[in-house]
Amino acid sequence: MNVLTTEGVQVSVKTAYQAAHSQPRANHFVFSYHITIENKSNYTVQLLRRHWYIYDSNGEVNEVEGEGVIGQQPILEPKEKHQYTSACVLETGMGKMRGYYLMERIADGKLFKVQIPEFMLIAPFLNN
Per-residue pLDDT of 75-85, as tens digits, reads: 999 999 999 99
| Residue spans per domain, the chain | 2-123
In CATH, the number for domain 2-123 is 2.60.40.1470
pLDDT at 105 over 90: yes
- Phi, psi at residue 19, to the nearest 5°? -60, -40
User: CA Rg, the chain, in Å?
Assistant: 16
Q: State how far the Cα of 18 lies from the Cα of 16, in Å rounded to an integer.
A: 6
Specify the DSSP class assigned to residue 91. S
Show the beta-strand stretches assigned E in 7-127: 9-17, 29-39, 45-56, 61-67, 75-76, 81-90, 94-105, 111-122
CB contact at 8 A, 90 and 29? yes
pLDDT in tens, 45-56: 999 999 999 999
pTM of the model: 0.93
| pLDDT at res. 128 | 59
Residue range 14-43, pLDDT digits in tens? 999 999 999 999 999 999 999 999 999 999
127, pLDDT greater than 80? no
